[in-house]
A and B are shown apart, each in its own frame.
Chain A
Amino acid sequence: MNGRPVRLLPLLLLAAPAMAQERPVLTVLAYDSFVAQWGPGPGIEAGFEAACGCDLRWATGGDGAALLARLQLEGPGEVDAVVGLDDALVARARATGLFAPHGLAPALDLPVAWEDGTFLPFDWGWFAFVGRRGGPMPEGFEDLAASDASVVIQDPRSSTPGLGLLRWVEAAYGDRAGAVWEALADNVVTVTPGWSEAYGLFLEGEADLVLSYSTSPAYHLIAEGDAGYVALPFAEGHLLQVEVAAALAASDAPDLARDFLAYLVSPPAQGLMATGNWMYPAVLPPEGLPEGFESMRPAATLVAPPLSEEAREALVETWRAALSR
C-alpha cells in the first residue's frame, strides 16, 4: 500500500476545522421537511450564505414540539436559532427561558394579529385533512368518526400539526371534544411522531386521509403535476396555524442569528414558502401566490385562544385517554 495518502490524511483532518473556522458557523434547528431536499431549507441556505459570508448548518430532529423538548433535554449546545415552533407552543417555549428577543419589526401579512418580540412568524396555514380524489370525503369530524375512513395523525406531544388538531377539535366542540376523540379513535390507523412520517405513511397507502394543510394538494399539483389529491373542507371551519422562528439566548453569534431571522422574512426566503414549504408566506411576495396554490380555501376560520401550558397538558391528556381506550 502506498503510504503517502495515508500520511497526508491526518494533516488534512487537522486542517479541516481550521479552514472551516474562517467563516462563522450558524446552526439552525428545524423540522425534517423544512430542511429536506425539496423543502425551502436548501434555497434559504444558499441565499443566506451568499449574504452573510457564514456557514449555515441545519440540525433536524422531528417536528416543532420535539425540537423544543430536545433543546430542553440537551441544552442549546451549538444551536443558534430554531425554525418551526408555532403559535400553540409559544407559551411553553417562552417559559423555558431559552429564547432571546429578535428586535425586528417586519411588516407581516398574517390573517391574525401578531405582536411578539421573541417569536417571529415565517409562514402560516390552515390545518386540513388531505385525501385522494375519489376516496372518502367526510365533511366534518363527526362525519369522519361515523365513516370507516382511515386516517394518520401526528402525536400532539411532539408535532405541531398534532397539537393543532387537538386545538381544532377543542375549538369546534368545546366540552364535547373528548367524546369526539373517542368516536374518532377507531379511524386513527396510527399516530406518528412528526408530519413527515404521517405524510409518508399516507403516500404509501397506509391510510385514506392524513392530517396536513389546506395547501398540501398544491405540492402534488404544482411540483408533481398530479391533481389526484384534495384537501377536505370541514363544516366546523379550519384552525389557523402560525409557524414561528426564534433565536437562542445562549447563541454565541446573536447578531448572525438575528440576521438569519431577518432573512427568513425577507422576499427571497418568503418566496420559497409557498412552493417549498407549501404554506402561506408570512410576507406576501409581490408576485402573489402561485396558480393552483389555493385549491381549497376554507370558508370559515376557527380561532383558538392562546394556549397556556396547563391547557395544553389538559388537551393532551384528554386525547391520550380517548385514544388509549
Chain B
Amino acid sequence: MARRPVALIPGRLAALLVALLCLGPLVPLLLAGGGGLAPADWAALRFTLWQAALSAALSAALAVPVARALARRAFAGRAALVALLGAPFLLPALAAVLGLLALFGRGGIVSDALAALGLPRLSIYGAGGVVLAHVFLNLPLATRLLLAGWEAIPAERFRLAATLDAPVWRLLERPMLARALPGTVATVFALSLASFAVALTLGGGPAATTVELAIYQALRFEADFAGAATLALVQYAIGGAAAALAWALAPPPPWGAGRGRPVARWDAGGRLARWGDAAALALASAFLLLPLGAAALRGLAGLAELPAGTGRAALNSLLVALGAALACLVLALPLALRGGALARLAGSLPLAASALVLGTGAALLLRPLVAPSALALPLAALVDGLLALPFAVALLGPAAEEAEARHGRLADALRLGGWARLRLLHLPLLRPALGLSLGLAAALSAGSLGVVALLGGDEATLPLLAARLLGAYRTEAAAAVTLLALLLGLALLLLFDLWGRRAAA
C-alpha cells in the first residue's frame, strides 16, 4: 500500500473528531437517561423493529422482479428509469408523504375513484401508511442493490447456461440473490429504523410511533430530557446493531449500478417472461412516478399560497445545506486521503447515529450554557454533514486510492508533500468525487427535518415549514414548500456535480 505521510495526521484528527461527534453525545445521554422504559416505550421499540422488518422485506421482495426485468431487458428509457431509481434516496421524506397522500390519502386520486364506485375511501394514517412510505422510499434503493448483483454475474455464464440449456434461475440467479438479498434487506431495515419524518406525519398515535418519534415527543411535548435520553440510547443501540449488520452483509453503495448494459438472455424470450417483466417495470414506475407527479402538481398549485417566511426558510435551508456540505467535506477528505481501516471505521460510525439521537445529545450538552434552539441551524448543518459522511467517504476513498496508485510514485519522486501534494495531485483528481460528495451532502441536508424540528427556535427550514403546513392541513402550501426544498437540493447537487465534472473534462 502506498504510504501517504501527508495525510496521516489530518486523517487521525478527522477520525478523532468523527468519533467525538458520534460517540460524544453518548456521555450526556448516559448521564441523563437510563431511567427504564415505560410500557408504551417498549411498544414504540416493537413497532420500530416490526415496521422496519416489514418495510425491508416488502422492499426487497418487490425489488426482485423489477431488478430482474431491468437486468435482462433493453428498452427506450431504461437509462432514465435506472437514474430515477437513484432519486428517492435524495428525496425529502415529506415529498414521499405528500405524494402518497395525494394518491392514496382520503382526499387522494385513488380514494376519489373508490368513492365514485361507491367504495369506502382509503386512509393511510397509521402503521400501513408508515410501511407504504418506507417501501416507496426504499424500493428504488433495493432495486439498485439487486441490479448490481445481477450485473455482477458475467454475461458469459448466461451464454454458457443457454448453450447447455441449464436452468438459469437455479444455477445463477438464486445463488446471486442468496448473496445479495441479506445485505439489501439489512440496508433497508437500517434506514427504516431511523425513520422520523414519515412517522411524524403519518404515524397517528401511540400504536404507530417509532423510537425516533418518541424521542421527539418526549422533548417537544413534555420537555422530558431524561425520557428522551433513555429513548435515544435505545435508538443508538438498535441503529448501531442494524448498521453493523448492514455493513457486514451489504455491498458498498451501488452508485455505478445500472450503468452496465442489460444482458441479452435466451431464457427470457417467452411471452410470459416478457409480459411479466413489462408488468413489473410498469407497476414499479407507476408506484414511484404517480405519487411524485401528483405531489408536484399540488406543489405547483400551492406556489400561489406560499406562506410568509418561505423566503427566510429557503435561505436557512440553503445555509444549512452548504454548512452540511462543508462539514462533510472537512471530515471526509482527510479520512479518504488517509485510507485504511481507521478511515473505513470512522466513515461508518455515523451510520449508527441518527439525527434525533445526535440532536438530543447536543441539546443536553448545550443546555447548561445556551438554549439549544438558538443553535438549531448550525447544529443541523453539523449533524447533516456527519450523517452524509459515510457516502462521501465511500465516494472519495476509492478516488484517493486510485490517484495515489496512478501518480503517487511520481509525486514521491518529486518530493511533493503536504499542501503541494494535496493541491497538485489529490484535488484535481478527486474533484469529480468531491463535487458529487458535496452535492449529496447538501441535497440530503436540504430535505432533512430532524434536528431543526427537535430543537425548534424561531428559524424554520423548508422541510420544517412544510411539516408545519402539513400539520395544519394546508396540503397544497406544504407541497409547494416541499417542492422548493426538493428543487433546492437538486440544484445544489447539480451545481456541485457540475463543478466536479468540469475539472475532469
Contacts and interface: CB of A to CB of B under 8 A. Distances in A.
Interface of A: 32, 61, 65-66, 68-70, 72-75, 77, 155, 157-158, 185, 188-194, 196-197, 200-201, 204-206, 317, 319-321, 323-325
A323 B44 CA distance: 11
B456 A73 contact: yes
A206 B471 CA distance: 14
Interface in B175-209: 204-207, 209
A66 B220 contact: yes
Contacts of B75: none
A193 B221 contact: yes
Given A70-B456, A189-B125, A320-B38, A157 B106 contact: no
A157 B472 contact: no
A61 B456 contact: yes
A157 B371 contact: no
B456 A74 contact: yes
Nearest to B43: A324
B476 to A, nearest CB: 13
Contact of B472 (A189, A196, A324, A325): A196
B285 interface: no
B167 interface: no
28 contacts: A65-B221, A68-B223, A69-B222, A70-B456, A73-B363, A74-B457, A155-B217, A158-B221, A189-B126, A189-B204, A191-B205, A191-B206, A193-B221, A194-B471, A196-B472, A197-B471, A200-B472, A200-B473, A206-B123, A320-B40, A320-B206, A321-B38, A321-B39, A321-B40, A324-B39, A324-B47, A324-B206, A325-B43
Contact of B220 (A73, A192, A196, A200): A73
A254 B39 CA distance: 43
Nearest to B376: A74
A74 B220 contact: no
Nearest to B474: A200
B217 A157 contact: yes
B106 A205 contact: yes
Given A74-B457, A185-B207, A189-B204, A204 B38 contact: no
B35 interface: no
Contact of A324 (B44, B219, B457): B44
Contacts of B207: 185, 323-325
B260 interface: no
Contacts of B209: 324
Interface residues of B, number: 35
B347 to A, nearest CB: 33
Nearest to A203: B473
Contacts of B125: 189-190, 206
Interface in B435-467: 455-458
B383 to A, nearest CB: 17
B171 to A, nearest CB: 48
Given A61-B456, A158-B221, A317-B38, A323 B473 contact: no
Interface in B400-458: 455-458
B29 to A, nearest CB: 17
Given A65-B221, A321-B39, 7 more contacts: A65-B222, A66-B220, A158-B220, A158-B221, A197-B472, A205-B121, A324-B39
A323 B223 contact: no
A198 to B, nearest CB: 10
Nearest to B205: A191
B225 to A, nearest CB: 9
A189 B120 CA distance: 15
Contacts of A200: 472-473
B129 to A, nearest CB: 10
Contacts of A69: 219-223
A95 B199 CA distance: 32
B390 interface: no
A324 B363 CA distance: 28
A260 B43 CA distance: 44
Contacts of B220: 66, 69-70, 73, 158
B372 interface: yes
Contacts of B121: 205
A321 B43 CA distance: 8
Contacts of A193: 221, 471
B473 A201 contact: yes
Given A185-B207, A189-B123, A200-B472, A77 B371 contact: yes
A77 B38 CA distance: 33
B107 interface: yes
Contacts of B126: 189-190
Contacts of B204: 189-191
B219 A73 contact: yes
Contacts of B40: 317, 320-321, 323-324
Given A317-B40, A324-B40, A157 B222 contact: yes
Interface in B200-237: 204-207, 209, 217, 219-223
7 nearest A-B pairs in the assembled complex, by CB-CB distance: A320-B40, A324-B43, A190-B204, A191-B205, A72-B223, A157-B221, A324-B206
Contacts of A317: 38-40
A319 B371 CA distance: 31
A254 B85 CA distance: 58
A24 B44 CA distance: 47
Contacts of A320: 38-40, 43, 206
A160 to B, nearest CB: 12
Interface in B221-256: 221-223
